[in-house]
Amino acid sequence: MINSIEKAISIDPNFSDTYYNMGVILNLLGKLYESKAFYTKAVELNPNHFKAYNNLGNVLQENGKTEEVIEAYKKTLSINPNYVEAYNKLFYLY
């Protein structure tokens, strides 16, 4: 699966969903530091990728970066104010 995503990145290095998907896979494998880099790249390429911001917040939360986590979830909600998961995460942070 990772090989397929790496191939997709080599074909179109500007497609944000590919970076998001790699972040998801790495996160599932417990590679939080690596997944953070891919979520960050996804939002650089597509500043409206609310799921990438949300997952970036999840990774930052695992690293204890509370202020950055809050900003990531707020950014998620500024893009998609109906994304319930981000509201739930913010609730537990306050």
Q: Per-residue pLDDT for the chain (94 aa), expressed as one digit of tens each?
A: 788 999 999 999 999 999 999 999 999 999 999 999 999 999 999 999 999 999 999 999 988 889 999 999 999 999 999 999 999 999 988 7
CATH superfamily name and code, 2-93: Tetratricopeptide repeat domain (1.25.40.10)
End-to-end Cα distance, the chain: 37
| Residue-level pLDDT at 47 | 98
In the chain, where the domains are located = 2-93
| Residue-level pLDDT at 94 | 78
| Residue-level pLDDT at 62 | 84
Is 70 in contact with 93 (CB distance < 8 Å)? yes
